[in-house]
A and B are shown apart, each in its own frame.
Chain A
Amino acid sequence: MPYLALDTATTSLSIAVGERGRLFGEATTQLSRNHSVKLMPLVESLLESLDIAPDQLQGLIVGRGPGSYTGVRIAVTAAKAIAFSLQIPLVGVSTMDGLARHGALSDALVVPLLDARRKQAYTAMYENQNGAFVKLQEDRLLGLDDIIRGIHSRMVVRRLDKSKPAQVLLLGDGAENHRAELQEKLGDKARFATSSSQNFVRAAHLLDAGIAMLEAGESHDTATFAPEYLQLVEAEVKWNAAQQAKVAVTKEGDAK
């Protein structure tokens, strides 16, 4: 009984179908400007070519971001509807996993970077530990300087562990867009994708991460499940700031 994985959090639109340890099929496009239009027809055609009917699916895995606001909601919303309709479990997996797992076989520190504009990126840290691909740091939105600082301090840890080379594999559009600066500040520690095919999110990677969770009995509440935006809406930030300013004024007033 197969699982279906979906991700639309970045410019890549990726879907995959498979079981534990066995990928049946995957479809990924890089040029889709409209995930909303393309997602379900792609799901339909992949399952059709695999001769799998929707009611044969036994679980759903969806990339929950971080990523562009509207984009990430397309797959998450479709996944919530499919899981609800077919009464099957749903698990959300970080979209970062879909990118970072290109480096699962590398002995370098793996740092996925999804460009978030204004010299910021969504990022996390992974490394291979005795054959297992381990997430060292949860998803965060950071400025480029902080990302470089974090990598440097992780390199200090790695230098103490003689088995791990002081190298970092930088993946994703954030790595490509800031390649010159990363190269300059990280020197020969920095490694980049050897093919453009390693710079985008693949649903097959989410399938690996998600099936392990689902088969361990972990799943999300389909009803309340939502993307991981990692950023408040600007209006909320302003409103929170205004509330805090009000509290500050009241406190000063009390003191007098």
Chain B
Amino acid sequence: MGFLERVRQKYIADRASGKPVVILGIESSCDETSASVIRDGHEILSNIVSSQIEIHKRFGGVVPEVASRRHVENVNDVVEEALQQAGVTIEDLSAVAVTYGPGLVGALLVGVSWAKGLCWSKGIPMIGVQHIAGHIYANFLSGGMEPPLLALVVSGGHTELVHMPAHGEFEFLGRTRDDAAGEAYDKVGRAMGLPYPGGPQIDRLALEGNPQAYAFPRAWIDERSMDFSFSGLKSAVLNTMHNAEQRGEPWKVEDISASFQAAVVEVLVEKTVRAVHHTGVKNVVVAGGVAANRGLRAALTKRAEEAGFHVHFPRFDLCSDNAAMIAAAAFPMYLQGKFHDLDLNAIASLSLTKWKDTPTISL
């Protein structure tokens, strides 16, 4: 019996039995090998994240080939640990969800090849997940979340305002024209001599500094634009530090951090308010690594109260890359019976809006 037929029979039997939907998620798009087991789309039974950050620190950033090699060595143990901690066996799995883009292609291929090997062996439905959609769905792990939603996606590679009218459907309202917010954080962090990655350090230092110490620019682009630009801000910060050093004046890392963060956060918050007004959608979720930023959380929560909309952040530990969010994003597709075939490929530049276009088999 062929793979698709085995998958079809399993799906029909599992749906008829009325047992809970148990999805194994696998994520390997960058430098974290992660596996997670999720029940009914939001209940986390396990979420194992094996970080390579200590390995890549010495190189000053992620080395793609090193990351891929580590994923190969880690993946079996990480999945085994996730199954064990969840108290389930492969036989209990309803489906397997795997990140297939965007990301480092060599790294993505490890997760994708592994998922295909498992699904083929056991006739399990497989769902390829777009990584950024995963970050958005990290908010669904708290339960009770339904589209339509607005998503503010902020990470090292992304700064986007996204409208999500229905499950799996996304349209861009605005995006960065140059650096991503997280990228600006990392570059400013490096210039101040902070250890990699700089974002969390700046967030911490900002609490102790004066956000009005420096008047850094805010790029509004034009009155209605929901696009972002952070390269001007980044240059202004670097120039300020450079000029101070030229004049032999000291600068306080806390004040630079606080003033820089205030500029980033103000733009993120106000553009989100614009998106709420523009769409009339009153539920906002924040997604990506920068969703853990305390300054952003405080400012956006306060502004949402004033402007009369609801904002939701993922749990702190679910802001960075993890497989629980990948499994969560696959849940609506599982319910629709939309799966991927064994020719699923890793796509380094897979766009959020293109996710729904990848050919799926409908059972």
Chain B residues contacting A48 (CB-CB under 8 Å) are: 2
Q: Are A78 and B114 in contact (CB under 8 A)?
A: yes
Flag if B90 contacts A227 (CB, 8 Å): no
List residues of B (44-88) whose CB comes within 8 Å of A's CBs: 58-59, 63, 65-66, 68-69, 72-73, 75-77, 79-80
Report whether over half of chain A's contact residues are helix, strand or loop; otherwise say mixed. helix
Q: Contact partner of B109 among A74, A80, A82, A235, CB < 8 A? A: A74
Q: Which residues of the partner chain A approach B231 to less than 8 Å between Cβ atoms?
A: none
> Out of A36, A41, A233, A234, which one reaches B113, CB within 8 Å?
A36
Most chain A C-beta atoms within 10 Å of own C-beta, residue among B1, B76, B79? B76
Q: Is the CB of A74 within 8 A of B113?
A: yes
> Does any Cβ of B come within 8 Å of A69's Cβ?
yes
Residue of A nearest to B28 (CB): A77
- Encoded as 1 (CB less than 8 Å from any A CB) or 0, chain B from 104 to 128 comes to 0110011011111110111100000
A43 on the B face (CB < 8 A): yes
- B117 contacts A85, CB within 8 Å? yes
List of A residues within 8 angstroms of B68 by Cβ: 69-70, 73
Q: Chain A residues with Cβ under 8 A from B79's Cβ?
A: 84
The yes or no answer to A229 lying at the interface (CB within 8 A) is: yes
Kindly list chain A residues whose C-beta atoms are within 8 Å of the C-beta of B65. 69, 233-235
Whole-angstrom CA separation of A85 from B93 in the bound complex = 12
The answer to whether A80 and B2 touch across the interface, beta carbons within 8 angstroms, is no
Nearest chain B residue, comparing its CB with the CB of A86: B121
Nearest neighbor of B26 in chain A, beta-carbon distance: A81
Contacts of B58 in A (CB 8 A): 239
Additional pairs, 6, CB under 8 Å, beyond known A44-B342, A85-B117: A39-B113, A70-B109, A73-B109, A81-B75, A233-B66, A236-B63
Asked if B357 is an interface residue, CB under 8 A from chain A, the answer is no
| Distance of A226 Cα from B77 Cα, bound (Å) | 13
A226 CA / B75 CA spacing, docked (Å): 11
Q: Which of A40, A73, A229 has the most CB of B within 10 A?
A: A40
Alpha-carbon distance between A40 and B117 when the two chains are bound, in angstroms: 7
- List the B residue with the shortest CB-CB distance to A227: B72
| A109 interface residue (CB < 8 Å to B) | no
A206 CA to B79 CA in the complex, in Å?
A: 28
Contacts of A31 in B (CB 8 A): none
Classify the interface of chain B: helix, strand, loop or mixed.
helix
Q: Which of these, B1, B110, B120, B122, contacts A73 with CB under 8 Å?
A: B110
| Cα separation A184 to B20 with both chains bound (whole Å) | 70
Does B214 sit at the interface, judged by CB under 8 A? no
Total chain B interface residues with beta-carbon distance under 8 A: 39
CB of B227, distance to nearest CB on chain A (Å): 34
**A80:B106 contact, CB within 8 angstroms:** no
Contacting residues, chain B, for A209 (C-beta < 8 A): none
What's the nearest-Cβ distance from chain B to residue A133, in Å? Answer: 29
* Interchain CB contact under 8 A, B116 and A37: no
Closest residue on chain B to residue A79 by CB atoms: B117
- Of all chain A residues, the one with the shortest Cβ separation from B70 is A226
- Complex Cα distance, B75 from A12, in Å, reads 25
Shortest beta-carbon distance from B243 to chain A in Å: 32
CA of A236 to CA of B341 in the docked complex: distance in angstroms? 37
5 contacting pairs across A/B (C-beta < 8 A): A44-B120, A54-B120, A81-B75, A86-B121, A229-B69
Q: Do B66 and A81 have beta carbons less than 8 Å apart?
A: no
Chain A residues, CB < 8 A from B73: 224, 226
Interface membership of B172, Cβ < 8 A: no
The 4 A-B residue pairs with the shortest CB-CB distance, nearest first, are A81-B117, A85-B121, A77-B113, A40-B342
Residues of chain B with a CB closer than 8 A to A132's CB: none
Distance from A83 Cβ to chain B, minimum over Cβ atoms (Å): 8
Contact A235 B59 (CB under 8 A): yes
B residues in contact with A38, CB < 8 Å: 343
Q: Is the CB of B2 within 8 A of A223?
A: no
CA distance A48 to B115 in the complex (A): 20
Q: With an 8 A cutoff between CB atoms, is A180 at the interface?
A: no
Distance, CA A25 to CA B204, complexed state (A) = 61
Is A222 part of the contact surface with B, judged by Cβ < 8 Å?
yes
